[in-house]
Amino acid sequence: MTIRGLRALALPLVDAASVTNDATGATVTDNGRPGGPDRWASQQTISGRIAAALHGKRGEVNGALLDNGIMLRLPPLESERLQAWLQPGQNVTVRGASLATALGTVLDVTAIGASPDQLTELAVGLPAGPKGAGPKGRPK
């Protein structure tokens, strides 16, 4: 596997811009979130078990990997608020825009819970950085 991107200085993380399967030649390039400009995405509700937490550039949890290989992405503040749902072994149901790629499916989560009829809506579109944020990055 070949990964192109930026390596974090203080953490064992890589902000991947592209990932290539050397055996098949299949490449996935990070072109932004599902449903972004020129990106087709479909709304889905899926259930599964969390296999691992996913991390952002600064080491913050920003999603999870399900045991079936589907990647879940959440806004940073919501990942922090809902971290109990993102623990390995946790069973979850999520709803959001999904994007199928050559190397897997990514779901941009808009709701999470124990079952399709018990979902908590996420606050999407909140400021993710210092601009417009109060203490600890929370919205003012």
pLDDT in tens, 55-85: 877 778 888 999 998 999 888 788 888 888 9
* Residue 138: per-residue pLDDT: 41
What integer pLDDT is reported at residue 37 of this predicted model?
53
CATH class for domain 39-122?
A: mainly beta
pTM above 0.85, yes or no: no
Q: Which residues of the chain have a pLDDT value below 50? A: 126-140
pLDDT for position 32: 62
Q: DSSP letters of 41-59?
A: -EEEEEEEEEEEEEE-TTS
Q: Which residues, other chains included, contact 30 with Cβ-Cβ below 8 Å and sequence gap of 6+?
A: 16, 17, 18
Q: Quote the CA–CA distance of 86 and 76 in Å, as a whole number.
A: 12
Tell me, rounded to whole angstroms, the distance of Cα 1 from its chain centroid: 21
Can you give the pLDDT at residue 9? 72
The residue extents of the domains of the chain are 39-122
The predicted structure's pLDDT at residue 31: 63
Specify the DSSP element, H or E, that contains 81: helix 76-81
Q: Which residues, other chains included, contact 123 with Cβ-Cβ below 8 Å and sequence gap of 6+?
A: 75, 77, 78
